[in-house]
Structure 1
Amino acid sequence: MHVLFLSGSPNRLSKTNAVLKTVQQSIEVPYSTSTIDILDVPADDLMQARFQSPAIEKVKGEIENADIVVIGSPVYKASVPGVLKALLDLLPEGALIGKVVLPVATGGSIAHYLSLQYSLLPVLHILGATSIIKPVFVLSEHVQLENGVARIQDTQSLKRIDEAISKVKQSLKQASYTNV
């Protein structure tokens, strides 16, 4: 089983990436993992919709090889960042068919949680995702950045991450029984 972590944060040292790292540390064993950072995809490829650029092809290949896709996003102005949306727009319809998808997000207000229902989940459905785990949302104030290291300081957020990982594993078991 392979897990792909896709960071949609336009900042490498971000609270969103701290949450993704926490999920990755919790889910790694016995899975192999890889990470795609939106900052590693050339902006020109995103802005000029270069569907076949080498960077976009790499992203497509990583998604194709993944069993689980964990998508991390900050929420700005009640939506995901445009760079993440631009990348998702370049994926072919059906790119997430057969994948277990776990959205994780950070935002400044609990009201931003609902924005995922309107800005991210519809796109995931269009991409063919049928096994979407309830998004994990962490308030930005619950993630502390100190000396270049970010940590989640809220036990309820950590509990929601653990619950989401359990649901990911349950979905994988159900999928394996279905495919027998």
Structure 2
Amino acid sequence: MRVITLAGSPRYPSRSSALLEYARETLTAADIEVCHWHLQNFAPEDLLYARFDNPALQTLNEQLAGADGLIIATPVYKASFSGALKTLLDLLPERALEGKIVLPLATGGTIAHMLAVDYALKPVLNALKAQEILHGVFADDSQVTDYQHKPQFTANLQRRLDDALETFWQALHRPQQPCAVVNISAWGGACLILSAP
């Protein structure tokens, strides 16, 4: 079982990366292999000039291809997720998240930024063909303190993170739904493959 964690903040450390580090530690303790990535792994010019052949991107793509899930964390700026993260996601293959469970984590100045995950980030994850995007966790700035040294979370945030990670773990271990094959030979001998409910 392999999970990719991707920190989408242009700054490190950051509040969103603190959430992601907590997720990484929790999954590692559950004997799940975690491959951690952050924007600092990529040369800015490789992202800016869309260099699809840069070695870091190729390695990320290889690890994603063999992964079962992705946890992605981002700050919210101007009612959307990190522009630097969007630049990286734009370089991924069209079906990079096919068959993968995705858990989004986000931080922002106030609770008013919470909907940015649903209206900005999730459509991009859907475009990358994520199998399932779980209900994410949003934290405003007051809920994550001392993130530059030893991050502290409020009790409410801690509970929501634990619940989300438990749901993520269960989704990773959920048997994939079999496909139902419907014979439509009367329409020319073809078969239509539908996902079972």
Query: Does TM, scored on the shorter chain, surpass 0.5?
Result: yes
- Structure 2 CA distance, aligned partners of 1:78 and 1:152? 25
Following superposition, the deviation at residue 49 of structure 1 comes to 0.8
- Structure 2 CA distance, aligned partners of 1:152 and 1:133? 24
Give aligned-pair identity as a percent.
37
Q: Is the 8 A contact 1:106 1:138 kept in 2?
A: yes
Following superposition, the deviation at residue 177 of structure 1 comes to 4.8
> Residue 41 of structure 1 aligns with which residue?
42
> Residue 51 of structure 1 aligns with which residue?
52
TM-score between the two structures when normalised by the length of structure 1: 0.93
- Structure 1 CA distance, aligned partners of 2:121 and 2:146? 26
Structure with the larger strand share: 2
- Structure 2 CA distance, aligned partners of 1:4 and 1:152? 23
> Residue 8 of structure 2 aligns with which residue?
8
Equivalence map 1:137-156=2 (5 Å): 137-145=138-146, 148-156=148-156
Q: Which has the larger radius of gyration?
A: 2
> Residue 69 of structure 1 aligns with which residue?
70
Q: Is the 8 A contact 1:15 1:150 kept in 2?
A: no
- Structure 1 CA distance, aligned partners of 2:152 and 2:95? 34
- Structure 1 unaligned runs (5+)? none
Work out whether 1:159 is the aligned partner of 2:171: no
Q: Please provide the CA RMSD for this pair.
A: 1.6
> Residue 83 of structure 1 aligns with which residue?
84
Following superposition, the deviation at residue 42 of structure 1 comes to 0.8
Equivalence map 1:12-27=2 (5 Å): 12-27=12-27
- Structure 2 CA distance, aligned partners of 1:26 and 1:38? 22
| Residues 5 and 58 (structure 1), Cα distance of their counterparts in 2 relative to 1, 3 Å cut | same
TM-score between the two structures when normalised by the length of structure 2: 0.85
> Residue 132 of structure 1 aligns with which residue?
133
- Structure 2 CA distance, aligned partners of 1:39 and 1:104? 18
- Structure 2 unaligned runs (5+)? 179-197
AA partner of residue 103 (structure 1): P
Task: Kindly provide the CA deviation profile for residues 106-150 of structure 1, in whole angstroms up to 9, marking residues without a partner as x.
Answer: 11111111011111000000000121111111111111126x414
Q: Kindly tell me the number of residue pairs found equivalent between the two proteins.
A: 178
